[in-house]
Structure 1
């Protein structure tokens, strides 16, 4: 009788997929290190976006998303006509807790109010003349990125406004994470802005949040 050999469990011939940070995250980190290494001061400007994208070897859409990430971090401010301007470092806790103003409100009411404000911002974003910047709303495969990445891009495209300030107040009073976003509405919002359809973009904001 031949000896019985124990069968070893089969294993995958290749290792699992490597999780890598998105390109715009790497770009944002790279630009932040450049600002520090060059000793840039508050008020200093980064090179124009077209030149910066060419020097870095990336698309303007990827660069735009990286600048949005840096804006969210409070490192730069993208100003119309001036480009990306370096900001002074801010201390945690410096910003007042504006959400306390609406602490007694029903979160669902706040979410509906924010959707109404977002409709106006989405309509303005769709009217932005530079389509290459609007394309930053979509990933390489043509699908929208997460709400937490998409909405800062919308805000940048819409420009500074009273609606933007209201959106900041409502976002602080009733924070919304990606798990509460209606995926089909996010898809409709991103694609409407990319093609420049303001009315469709505004309509997509209705029902964006799972209440």
Structure 2
């Protein structure tokens, strides 16, 4: 996957509990935690959708228009998406570690293997099995660490030029980004 494109972003926690994600290409995304470990988002292009963890390292991004794509968290704030896109969370690390992660972001493109690519599609049964694994991992993490956990998950995808007018995040049942009782860390999928 030597022709992969890298797109960095930084997250900022807002006073109202949302996370404002700023991509290096100028786009912005506002993210809120929802129920069932889902992240509801809308972006500066008018698109909306939901990100959902599937298993240990997959995330499903569903757009309001019904389309979906998958990403795979490959560590150090990097997520590989279909079509050759790698998103890189530049807000997670500072100091020397940030320099190392930044270098991984660029040099790590050549190291991405076919095994790290996300699936193009999953059946409902496959997705449900992965959801069950994610719930079990969360429960195991909560019981072994007293409620905390280091999460994982992937970054938000980019792409799909289809603007959507529906806001699935209209429900007010959102948690606090800083609570870690569900086993996910503060940046939830990135």
Q: Which protein, 1 or 2, shows the higher relative CO under an 8 Å CA cutoff with sep ≥ 6?
A: 2
TM-score (normalizing by structure 2)? 0.26
Bigger fraction of residues in strand: 2
TM-score (normalizing by structure 1)? 0.24
> Greater Rg, structure 1 or structure 2?
1
Bigger fraction of residues in helix: 1
